[in-house]
Amino acid sequence: LGLNYIYKSMAIVDLAGALVGVRSLNIRGCSVSMPYKEAVLPLLDSLDNTAKEIGSVNTIVNNDGILHGYNTDVIGAQKVLYSLGIRCNDTILLLGAGGVSRAILFALREIGCRRVKVSNRNPEKLDYLNEIMQFEPIAWEKRSTVESDLIINATSIGMAPLIDYCPVETQAISLSNTVLDVVVSPFETRLIALARSM
């Protein structure tokens, strides 16, 4: 975009302190990754309507010390879902109930998908997702028995230190047509490697 900026990744342990640093150092903006996408909300001055509805932020813009939160995960999810040729009547199995899951669920709603099943290790977190759209809850123990057109892994399973793990058994992969994993490191997770091999 021709902007005179640098983009630097930083690991933090003090979220509130990091945002004080963003303000005091006049850092123009920052990305927010797991596990801070929800925890950052009360520390911001305002939220974009989409971020407010989803309850998750992945981008912060600093305008003269005023921090505005956005969620661009929705845009990314919609682009990927469209590129996969997802249709409204497809059955989707979404794994996870965190910030990325909420963004993906929002994107599925906007596309018009209505046959969505969601499974999470902590079933209590599923209640919050109902505010975005209605879905069929699936017990975590039953997730690998679900037949679907698309499996979406929106958990941290497959990311370090869980790189040797797969969020579903091979049976679930064989029952689906397409697999999408939001884990970006490693580049090819065990889930994707198994799907490719099948």
Rounded (5°) CA angle 49-55-58: 85
Q: Is 52 a catalytic residue?
A: no
From the list 91, 101, 105, 75, the residue with the least C-alpha distance to 155 is 101
Choosing from 37, 117, 125, 142, which is the catalytic residue? Answer: 37
Contact between 87 and 114 under an 8 Å Cβ cutoff? The reply is no
The string of DSSP codes covering the chain is ------------S-HHHHHHHHHHTT--EEE--TTSTTTTGGGSSEE-HHHHHHT--SEEEEETTEEEEE--HHHHHHHHHHHTT--TT-EEEEE--SHHHHHHHHHHHHHT--EEEEE-SSGGGHHHHTTT---EEE-GGGGGG---SEEEE-SSBTBTT-TT--SS-HHHHHT-SEEEE---SSSS-HHHHHHHH-
Active site residues: 37
